[in-house]
Amino acid sequence: MLNLSTTVELSNGTHIPLLGLGVYKVDSGEEVYQTVQSALDLGYRHIDTASFYGNETGVGQAVKDSRIPREELFITTKVWNDEQGYEETLQAFERSLARLQMDYVDLYLIHWPVPGKFIDTWRALETLYQNGRVRAIGVSNFLEYHLDDLLLHAEITPMVNQVEFHPQLYLEDLLDYCKKNNIQLEAWSPLARAQYLHHPLLHELGEKYGKSAAQIILRWDVQHGVVTIPKSTKPPRQKENAEIFDFELSREEMEAINALHCNGRVGSDPAQLK
């Protein structure tokens, strides 16, 4: 039976919790501190931040004050676009570690595929991984052609690719590509910033299973084998997001949700990055 403790094994044997908490646009200081603390109290063990979010310090303090053994937690951070390059990334990683008050992170990601930079940035991530500073390395917002380019130069295949992924942006080809290359797909903005939670299909399924539209979407992610990190600063909503393991969508229902795809992005398109 899947639950909040369920993990997925990455290609190097590291286990990542299937459901986590994202903290994008959560204010640094007290808001992110309370957000992370409430999630940890509810049983979350996977927290996703980034240097760009400006809240690594609050995340780190909440983790430290929780007194949960570090090895029971899975912490992700990312290197931002203006920090990319080989030496620049190594320095950015040390800054992130200092803010987090940690000796290592569980997953370090390239935040965006900056043209002319991400190959050298990946070399830095490989160095950090080989030196035992991170338990796993990966990328974010990489499309198939970005991954093709990276794999031509990489010694280590990325273990994770974190992208915008939800029913109106059902990236089936990218999901298949990642599965074939043993790269774990992870969804950011899995609820599309609540832009279509009113959709009739989601409400119909919600009524059938006694769930919210958001829970239907998160369950859809999980059944696709996609790691997902919904954001909420409110404990009741964090609890709701975690209560997706006591029902299962049928194959026909999964296909109906898949059909909502309309290339409906709520974030930037990686193909447009300059």
Just list the catalytic residues.
Answer: 53
Type of residue numbered 195: Q
Alpha carbon distance 126, 47 (integer Å): 22
Q: DSSP assignment, residue 199?
A: -
The secondary structure of 98-163, three-state, reads HHHCCCCECEEEECCCCCCCHHHHHHHHHHHHHCCCECCEEEECCCHHHHHHHHHHCCCCCCEEEE
**Strand pairing partners for 169?**
166
**Strand pairing partners for 140?**
162
Q: Residue 186: enclosing H or E segment and its boundaries?
A: strand 184-188
| Closest to 205 in 3D by CA, of 167, 152, 156 | 167
